[in-house]
Structure formats: C-alpha cells, structure tokens
Amino acid sequence: MINGIDVINKKYDTIKESVEGPMYVKKTVTIQKRNGAYQQINLRKYHLTDVEKAKLLEQQTQFPNPYKRAGIYKAIVQSFIDMGMNQYYSFKTIKMKIQQIMETYDSLNYKSNLWELFINKKPRNIKTCKDINGKILQNIQILQRVTSYSCYGIKLYQLGAEILIKNDNGVIFAGLFDIKSSN
C-alpha cells in the first residue's frame, strides 16, 4: 500500500517470472505506451525473489539495502538508512550523505571514486541534461517507481518501505519510510 492506495503492479507482474532466468539471455517485449505507440523494450529484473528477500531479512538488524551494486541507487537508500528511517531530511543533507557514501566506493577504472564518476558523467542528451542536484533528485524519484515495466523501487516496496519526497516552500525534503508509518 502506498499513500493509502493498494498498488497492484499488473504490468510487471505479467513478465516477472520470465526475467528470473540467466542474465545473458536477452528477453524483449513489445509494450504500448500512453500515447498509443508501441515500443520494444529489454526486460530487466527489478524485484527480489522470495529467496533473495529472505536472505536480506535474516542477515540484517537494521533495514537491509536491497541494491547490491555500488552506485547511486545503493547510495541513496544507504544514506536514508544511515540517517534514520521514517523522517524527512533536507535535500542538502541527503546530497552530503550520498557524496560521503559514494566517495567510499571504488570505481572500476581506479582513477577516482564513484562520486567523481557520477558528477562528471557526460549527459546522453545535452538538451535535457541536469546539474548534479537535478541528477540526484531524479534518481530519488526513480526509486519511487513501483508500477510499470521499469519499477526500480519495487525492491524497497517488497521489504515494506518507500521513498517519499515533499516540497516545502521550494525546499525539497525526502526520506525512507516504513509503508505502515507513511499512511
């Protein structure tokens, strides 16, 4: 339940079993977008299997971070876990904590840490690119997705949590909340 609404992810649920196979086998599906156009997409596994979920829950004394690979999603969730769940934090505080966490992650090229790679990454589209604050906020918003074929936040939802964002007179606040306490 998110914000008092039962979420049934029918779109992703219809393909969930087909993405649990070997990662090297690319699977695609044709979807119909909101504007009526059809698009072929590569399927990805966004959810936790029952075994993965059980392992995460048995190993942790605090809320487990379901994102394994070092990167922005893992850093965002870990920053909320470290600062404390069920409360909002200012964007400035969140950004500083994310930077602190990502600076501890070594990059594969060994020339810098992941924070440096993240802030210096070249944009795919110059017209729509965002500054560092926009990139962080956009990634936090992406982790709110629990429906559609790109439900990046479904792992958090499966563990009983969600990311909430609020704007208070132009100041952005966000936090990781237990689903029960956010209603």
Half-sphere exposure (Cβ direction) of 125: Cα atoms closer than 13 Å:
3
Query: Considering the domain boundaries, does residue 28 fall inside one?
Result: no
**2 lies in some domain:** no
Return d(Cα 22, Cα 44) in angstroms, integer.
11
* pTM of model > 0.75: yes
> What mean pLDDT is predicted for residues 90-94?
97
Q: Which residues pair with 39 in a beta bridge?
A: 31
What pLDDT is stored for residue 41 in this prediction?
72
| Residues 10, 23: Cα–Cα separation, whole Å | 23
pLDDT at position 48 over 70: yes
Percent of the chain with pLDDT over 70: 78
18 within domain boundaries? no
Q: Phi and psi (nearest 5°) for 63?
A: -60, 130
Residue 16 belongs to some domain of the structure: no
Residue 62 lies in a domain: yes
pLDDT band per the 50, 70, 90 thresholds, residue 179: confident
Q: Does any domain span residue 7?
A: no
How does residue 169 score in pLDDT terms, banded at 50, 70 and 90? very high
> pLDDT tier at 72 (50, 70, 90 boundaries)?
very high
Number of independent structural domains in the chain: 1
Whether residue 40 has pLDDT greater than 70: yes
Closest CA to 152 of 160, 161, 143: 143
- Residue numbers of the domain that contains 174: 46-182
Lowest mean pLDDT among 28-37, 45-54, 151-160: 28-37
